[in-house]
Amino acid sequence: MSDLLHSEDINDFDESTDANDRKFAVIIGHIEELMVNEAFKRFVDDFFDRVRVTPENEKEIHVKYSETVRGYVEDEIKERLANFDMNKFYEDLHARKNDVEFDVYEIISSFKDFDTFKNVYYGYFRDGKDKVKSDDLSANAISIVSYQNS
């Protein structure tokens, strides 16, 4: 089993933190840990190795990306939090976007928002050689996790 936070970790916050804040923090922790996980990096790399994004097919690729990568993230979180609801989480995320590292916010938002997907794809995943580079994304997530654990 992974060393990611589990649902019982929701209780590890001080009493002044309300239940919604605790749950949100645990979910963000899961996502941050997932972003630095080698299996996730390979999954994203494999996805983009199978497609070629062009201005003509960006929307089609966005739909496939949303279904595939969002599905992976959602399944991984549901393994740890059985009652996880991605749609509810989107609402919470957008309401608390200033409480979340920008990279995490942008990646999760890219599942629903086409313009954000384009920013993420061209900003994080492309290195100018038509090859995905999830290591940039992971490096950002590692910085986030390291900062929060210090």
Q: Which domains does the chain have, with CATH numbers?
A: 18-149 (1.20.1520)
Compute the Cα dihedral for 50, 56, 62, 67 and give only its sign.
negative
Of 54-58, 93-97, 115-119, 145-149, the range with the lowest mean pLDDT is 145-149
On whether the CB atoms of residues 36 and 23 are closer than 8 A, the answer is: no
**Residue 17 has which token pair?**
């933190």
> Tokens 């190795």 appear where?
49
Residue 148 pLDDT: 41
Average pLDDT of the residues in 47-73: 92
pLDDT at position 128 is 46
Distance of CA 30 to the CA centre of its chain: 9
Q: Comparing C-alpha atoms, which of 40, 41, 65 is closest to residue 53?
A: 65
**23: Cα separation from own chain's centroid:** 16
